[in-house]
């Protein structure tokens, strides 16, 4: 830093000096010419005035009269004097001062008489700079002699020297002041922030702070600051991964991490590439004022698959839904992500408003969603929605085929019920590709699925995949039963596979999860946690000692009205909790322009208002309904601050809210009340399992949760957190992709003949 400051100061001194001297030189030259022009003008005016008087004296023929005239006008500023000569150049009258320095008739005087007009020039007389102005004298239109006007020009040189001295002093003052200001700026705006950044990085390196986002002010180095944040996050993650690996090695255990997932996938793909297809994109570009920002949507899928795509430089194909998405892609609708550290490609597919309405909101969410969830909402199937669903699946297939055109044996992972037809389309074009699809929602029994008019086309589309994943084994069984009933095939119940048209499809459960929870904090500051909880509750106007929580999209599968009814029943049966228990329902609006969802929002609000009106006393009301989207960070604060979490879905594939709540509870406190109709209930056996349709049972579970002994709470939470840690989101992705890569594809490569997928050896 000292060397940098010294270089900067020396550079400023040299630069300022050169610039100032350049401007000073220009100013001196300009002033010199101005003074000379002024002197020449005065000499010309004076000479013409004196010439008239001399011409009159000449007519008298008296040399003495000429001398008197010359002497009379000789008292002028900077004037050395006048000289009058005849036509031959002989001086006949001259000022006394001029006579001392003028030894001969100047050439300019003779030239003026010859040319008949005035002449001006600068010469030296006895080493003294002077200006001479010569003009002819006339008598009766005949040149009879000449007049010489001589001014002392030495004052111009003196003025130039004075200007140089002033400029030099000005340069010294400027250099001194600018150097002082520069030193202060360097110390306050550069050295200070760099010192704070170095101290911050040292603290981060030594573990005295835990988050790289606790960064000092580095506005001056904004681009560098972002790179530093990325670097420190990478170092922090690497340290955490190393610590976890060391603990696991010490304990003789093996846990999935992002790094392990990346290494595993890179090894399994053998240098190949992975392609992910989903409706939702991992990064959405939105316009915020005049700038474009990249937003990460809340999704466990992004957490799971980014390490995989990073490891193999893969490609994620998704619907471009952001209002600025088109502004950041190249001519092939691609861009590299993540924005700050690009490591894989995002290919965006554009949908018209009609396509999105028909394919997504229509067939997928008014048809397949209620059909698969069996949540007492009638599925709506329209022929035009089915047409859009087919068209969009073909559009995504066309985009995928462009991306895999030059890739040998690509691995393709399709996501969810939006693309049931896509696996068959992919296989018809690229039989050498490995294709898997993960179905994130439940699969109903054959009788329920039989409602769909296009059930055969959907099943045939899915059977184009080499591997189909569901959350639970029961969903796998329902799918196989549906296949057995709908299409002609051979179902192998021993290996859970389907053989049809020389192609075999494996159907296995892969329970999705969340990121591995942090280790419990034995030295957690409960006083600090209490203060944070108190601040959060105060901001919401809650003063009760017991608080419950629900976190959901406002969807008819989540059982929110039934949950409110259970709270009402709990307060009826246990009136001692009236005024002491508040339930917070975070309800993110979802698909509100679909009539059923719009009606549900009104129903949930009305139910909350009815119960509040019934029990409200003073400032207390039993239900606080927060109907807006909350960030992950905001929801984590609620998870850690509440006494219990109610997850009472009527039917759910997994429901990650249950796992997120447990992952956030580093204090190993809190109680999870979980619907038995969720996929999470198969894993989280230490939760209080309830039938959400049984209002009394759920009400009793709320009482049991509030009155549970702290030791039992800790034991239950610890067991469930261990389950999540051992089966986290990275394990889900690792198992799914590993099994896909282990499948053996029989048949020629890219010949058009359909290869056969064999079951891996046990």
User: SS3 sequence, 243-298?
Assistant: HHHHHHHHHCCCCCCHHHHHHHHHHHHCCCCEEEECCCCCCEEEEECCEEEEECCC
Q: Containing H/E element for 663?
A: helix 657-664
Q: Containing H/E element for 150?
A: strand 142-152
Q: How far apart are CA 210 and CA 229, in angstroms?
A: 13
DSSP 66: H
Percentage of the chain exceeding pLDDT 90 = 50
Which carries the bigger pLDDT value, residue 275 or residue 190? 275
d(CA 749, CA 742): 17
- Are 562 and 602 in contact by the 8 Å Cβ rule? The answer is no
Q: Where are the beta strands (DSSP E) in 358-501?
A: 411-415, 434-438, 467-470, 490-492, 497-500
Write the pLDDT tens digit of every residue in 488-530: 999 999 999 999 989 999 999 999 998 888 877 666 777 788 8
Residues 6+ apart with CB under 8 A from 752: 431
CA–CA dist 445, 451 (Å, integer) = 11
pLDDT value of position 278? 95
Could you tell me which residue, 319 or 301, shows the higher pLDDT? 319
pLDDT, residue 762, reads 32
Phi/psi at 142 (nearest 5 deg)? -125, 135
**pLDDT in the model for residue 58:** 72
Contact 135, 109 (CB under 8 A): no
Average pLDDT over residues 89-111: 80
Does 13 score more than 90 pLDDT? no
Residues 6+ apart with CB under 8 A from 35: 156, 159
- The model's pLDDT over 443-500, given as tens digits with 9 standing for 90+, comes to 999 999 999 999 999 999 999 999 999 999 999 999 999 999 999 999 999 999 999 9
pLDDT score of 760: 43
Mean pLDDT of 555-564: 95
Confidence of residue 229 (pLDDT cuts 50, 70, 90): low
Instruction: Give mean pLDDT, residues 703-723.
Output: 96
Q: Is 447 helix (H, G, I), strand (E, B) or coil?
A: helix
Q: Return all residues near 610 (Cβ < 8 A) that are at least 6 apart.
A: none
What tens digit of pLDDT does each residue of 589-630 get? 888 888 899 999 999 999 999 999 999 998 999 999 999 888
What six digits make up the tokens of 666?
A: 């580093």
pLDDT at residue 23 above 60?
Answer: yes
Q: What is the three-class DSSP state of 362?
A: helix
Q: How many CB atoms lie within 10 A of CB 224?
A: 12
- φ, ψ of residue 257 to 5 degrees: the values are -130, 170
- The chain-wide mean pLDDT, for the chain, equals 86
| Pair 389, 364: CB distance under 8 Å | yes
Provide the pLDDT for residue 226: 59
Model pLDDT, residue 101: 79
pLDDT above 60 (res 747): no
Check whether 125 has a pLDDT greater than 90: no
pLDDT at 449: 96
pLDDT of residue 186: 74
User: What's this model's pTM, rounded to 2 decimal places?
Assistant: 0.70
Tell me the DSSP string of 569-593. HHHHH-GGGTTTEEEEEEEE--STT
Answer for the pair 121, 108: CB distance below 8 angstroms, yes or no: yes
Tokens (6 digits) for 446: 């054959």
Under 8 Å between Cβ of 424 and 412: no
Residue tagged 């009815």 (tokens): 610
- Of 250-264, 296-310, 655-669, the range with the lowest mean pLDDT is 250-264
**Selection from 453, 745, 702 nearest residue 577 by Cα:** 702
Question: According to the model, what pLDDT value does residue 756 have?
Answer: 42
pLDDT tens across 59-91, in order?
A: 666 667 777 777 777 777 788 888 888 888 788
Please report which helix (H) or strand (E) contains residue 456, including its range: helix 455-462
Q: How many CA atoms lie within 13 A of 450 on its CB side?
A: 9
Question: Among candidates 695, 707, 666, 661, which has minimal Cα distance to 680?
Answer: 661
Q: Are 609 and 623 within 8 A, CB to CB?
A: no
* Dihedral class, residue 559 (left if φ above 0, else alpha if ψ from -120 to 50, else beta): left
Cis peptide, bond prior to residue 332, ω within 30 of zero: no
3-state secondary structure 96-127: HHHHHHCCCCCHHHHHHHHHCCCEEEEEEECC
633: exposed, middle or buried (C-beta count within 10 Å: 0-12, 13-18, 19+)? exposed
Per-residue pLDDT band at 166 (split at 50, 70, 90): confident
Cα 735 to chain centroid distance, Å, stands at: 32
* DSSP notation for 368-389: IHHHHHTSS------HHHHHHH
Q: Which of 276-285, 386-395, 560-569, 624-633 has the lowest mean pLDDT?
A: 624-633
Q: What is the pLDDT, as a whole number, of residue 461?
A: 97
| Sequential DSSP letters for 292-338 | EEEE--S-HHHHHHHHHHHHHT-EEEEE--STTHHHHS-TTSEEEES
> Going by C-beta distance under 8 Å and a sequence separation of 6 or more, which residues neighbour residue 603?
561
Per-residue confidence band for 222, with pLDDT thresholds at 50, 70 and 90:
low
Give the C-alpha separation, 180 to 187, whole Å: 11
CB 220 within 8 A of CB 186: no
Taking residues 647-657, what's their average pLDDT?
93
**Cα(264)–Cα(138) distance, integer angstroms:** 113
pLDDT at 245 over 60: no
Angle at 647 between CA 643 and CA 650, to 5 degrees: 155
Helix and strand totals (H; E) in the chain: 25, 25
Q: Worst-scoring range by mean pLDDT, 144-148, 558-562, 650-654?
A: 144-148
Percentage of the chain surpassing pLDDT 70? 88
Residue 759 has pLDDT above 60, yes or no: no
Average pLDDT over residues 714-727: 94
Q: Which are the contacts of 333, defined by CB distance < 8 A and separation ≥ 6?
A: 320, 347, 348, 349, 350, 399
Looking at per-residue pLDDT, the higher value among 526 and 317 belongs to 317
Neighbouring-strand partners of residue 84: 93, 147
Calculate ∠ Cα 295-728-441, nearest 5°.
Answer: 70
């Amino acid at each position: 830093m000292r060397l940098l400051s010294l270089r900067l100061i020396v550079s400023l001194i040299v630069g300022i000096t050169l610039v100032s001297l350049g401007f000073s030189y220009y100013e001196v030259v300009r002033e010199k010419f101005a003074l000379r022009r002024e002197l020449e003008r005065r000499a010309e005016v004076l000479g013409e005035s004196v010439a008239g008087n001399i011409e009159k004296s000449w007519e008298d023929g008296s040399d003495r009269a000429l001398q008197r005239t010359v002497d009379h006008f000789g008292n002028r500023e900077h004037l050395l004097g006048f000289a009058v000569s005849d036509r031959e150049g002989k001086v006949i009258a001259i000022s006394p001062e001029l006579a001392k320095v003028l030894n001969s008739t100047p050439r300019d005087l003779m030239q003026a008489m010859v040319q008949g007009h005035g002449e001006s020039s600068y010469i030296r007389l006895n080493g003294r700079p002077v200006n001479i102005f010569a003009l002819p004298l006339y008598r009766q239109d005949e040149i009879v002699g000449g007049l010489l006007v001589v001014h002392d020009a030495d004052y111009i040189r003196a003025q130039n020297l004075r200007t140089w001295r002033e400029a030099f002093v000005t340069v010294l003052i400027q250099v001194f002041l600018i150097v002082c200001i520069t030193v202060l700026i360097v110390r306050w705006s550069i050295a200070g922030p760099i010192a704070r950044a170095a101290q911050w990085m040292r603290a981060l390196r030594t573990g005295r702070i835990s988050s790289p986002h606790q960064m000092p002010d580095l506005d001056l180095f904004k681009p560098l600051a972002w790179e530093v944040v990325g670097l420190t996050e990478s170092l922090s993650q690497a340290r955490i991964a190393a610590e976890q690996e060391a603990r696991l090695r010490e304990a003789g255990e093996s846990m999935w991490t992002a790094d392990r997932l990346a290494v595993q996938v890179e090894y399994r793909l053998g240098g190949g590439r992975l392609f992910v297809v989903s409706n939702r994109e991992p990064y959405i570009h939105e316009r915020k004022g005049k700038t474009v920002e990249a937003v990460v949507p809340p999704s466990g899928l992004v957490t799971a698959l980014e390490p995989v795509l990073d490891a193999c430089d893969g490609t994620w194909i998704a619907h471009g839904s952001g209002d600025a998405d088109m502004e950041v892609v190249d001519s092939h609708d691609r861009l590299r992500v993540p924005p700050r550290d690009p490591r894989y490609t995002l290919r965006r597919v554009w949908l018209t408003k009609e396509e999105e309405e028909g394919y997504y909101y229509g067939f997928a969410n008014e048809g397949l969603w209620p059909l698969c969830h069996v949540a007492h909402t009638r599925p709506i199937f329209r022929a035009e929605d089915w047409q859009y669903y087919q068209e969009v699946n073909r559009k995504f297939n066309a985009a995928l085929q462009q991306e895999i055109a030059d890739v040998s044996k690509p691995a393709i992972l399709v996501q969810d019920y939006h693309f049931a037809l896509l696996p068959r389309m992919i296989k018809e074009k690229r039989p050498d590709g490995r294709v898997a699809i993960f179905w994130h929602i439940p699969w109903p029994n054959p009788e329920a699925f039989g409602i769909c008019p296009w059930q055969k086309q959907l099943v045939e589309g899915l059977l184009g995949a080499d591997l189909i994943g569901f959350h639970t084994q029961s969903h796998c069984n329902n799918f196989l039963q549906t296949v057995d009933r709908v299409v002609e095939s051979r179902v192998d119940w021993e290996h859970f596979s389907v053989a049809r048209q020389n192609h075999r499809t494996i159907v296995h459960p892969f329970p999705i999860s969340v990121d591995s929870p942090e280790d419990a904090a034995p030295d957690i500051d409960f006083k600090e946690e209490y203060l944070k909880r108190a601040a959060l509750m105060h901001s919401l106007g809650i003063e009760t000692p017991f608080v419950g929580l629900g976190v959901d999209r406002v969807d008819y599968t989540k059982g929110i009205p039934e949950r409110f009814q259970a709270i009402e029943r709990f307060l009826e049966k246990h009136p001692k909790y009236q005024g002491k228990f508040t339930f917070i329902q975070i309800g993110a609006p979802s698909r509100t322009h679909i009539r059923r969802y719009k009606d549900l929002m009104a129903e949930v609000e009305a139910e909350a208002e009815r119960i509040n009106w019934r029990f409200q006393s003073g400032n207390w009301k039993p239900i606080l309904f927060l109907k807006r989207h909350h960030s992950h960070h905001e929801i984590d604060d609620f998870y850690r601050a509440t006494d219990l979490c109610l997850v009472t879905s009527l039917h759910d594939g997994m429901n990650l809210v249950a796992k997120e709540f447990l992952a956030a509870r580093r204090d190993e406190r809190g109680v999870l009340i979980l619907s038995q109709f969720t996929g999470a209930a198969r894993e989280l056996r230490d939760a209080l399992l309830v039938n959400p349709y049984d209002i009394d049972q759920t009400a009793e579970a709320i009482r049991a949760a509030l009155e549970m002994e702290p030791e039992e709470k800790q034991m239950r939470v610890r067991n469930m957190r261990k389950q999540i840690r051992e089966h986290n989101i990275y394990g889900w992705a690792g198992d799914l992709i590993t099994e896909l890569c282990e499948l053996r594809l029989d048949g020629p490569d890219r010949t058009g003949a359909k290869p056969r997928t064999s079951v891996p050896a046990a």
